[in-house]
Amino acid sequence: MRPAVTVRGLEKAYGPRRVLRGLDLEVRRGEIFALLGANGAGKTTALECIEGLRRCDAGEISVDGRLGVQLQSGALPGHLRAMEAVRLFALWNGTAPDGAMLAELGVDRLGKRPYAAMSAGQKRRLHLALALLRRPDVLVLDEPTAGLDVEGRSALHGCIRRLRDRGCTVLLSSHDAAEVERLCDRLAVLRDGRAVFCGTPAELAARSPRTVAVRTADGWIRRETGDVGGALLALLEDARRRGAAVLDVEVGRGALEHSLLELLEEGTE
């Protein structure tokens, strides 16, 4: 199946500062794909090039289908009401507002509240509704949950998952490793303008050591290891030799955030 988004050899510099250095990405249809990286890694620049908002210096970008965009920092006139914005954007895009989508995002319940009086979460949901008016095949979200409280983040995550389940491809950037682990199917880690890792959250987490623990009457004995089976057998054998009854066994998975920090720190040595 043809990828939804393909990026090959993307280069971008701002004066003498090279932000993208031959970035390669491939986003599959119907997945939630995240760009992770430190500030200045090139996440927003890469998204802006894909969106067509910024011209790249070299490379190729292919987006298969209609594109919807939610910018990292967008704003509307303070006096504009939610449904006024919806009708205006629908007119620009030559589409009719989708009542079910507006209800799902809660935009229809904002009533006559002006944009300036909306909470951060309400503004984010309105921006997402405006991005969805074109009924995009590919939705690009730059830091979609920045500034939201726990309830707002959870609601927006649910909307993004439902879009994915309906066949929409979602490409987003984030600083939050925990968010990406819960939400995304695959991710790429950007460092110095290149993708230094691409795979599933579980594959990234597996790069860091896992913890194996055995509990006896004397308490827990823990080991960090890359060989879960070998470490567990060694702990069980040690308990057997001591004549200690094993009361519990625990195997912890690798930490995605730990693996991410290790990848990013490799570029600072």
DSSP string for 7-49? EEEEEEEETTEEEEEEEEEEE-TT-EEEEE--TTSSHHHHHHH
Strand ranges across the sheet with 248-252 = 219-225, 210-216, 248-252
Q: Residue 71: which of 100, 89, 47, 99 has the closest Cα?
A: 47
Taking only the tens of pLDDT, the chain with its 269 residues reads: 789 999 999 999 999 999 999 999 999 999 999 999 888 889 999 999 999 999 999 999 999 999 999 887 778 899 999 999 999 999 988 888 888 888 888 888 887 889 999 988 888 888 888 988 888 999 999 888 877 777 778 878 888 898 899 899 999 998 888 888 889 999 999 998 999 999 998 888 877 777 788 999 888 888 877 677 888 899 999 998 999 999 998 876 556 777 787 777 775 54
- Give the pLDDT of residue 46: 95
- Cβ(29)–Cβ(54) below 8 Å: no
Q: Residue 46: which of 66, 27, 65 has the closest Cα?
A: 27
- Cβ(87)–Cβ(93) below 8 Å: no
- Give the pLDDT of residue 175: 80
For the whole model, what pTM was predicted?
Answer: 0.79
**Angle 30-175-89 from CA coordinates, rounded to 5°:** 55
Two structure tokens written together for 96: 């009719």
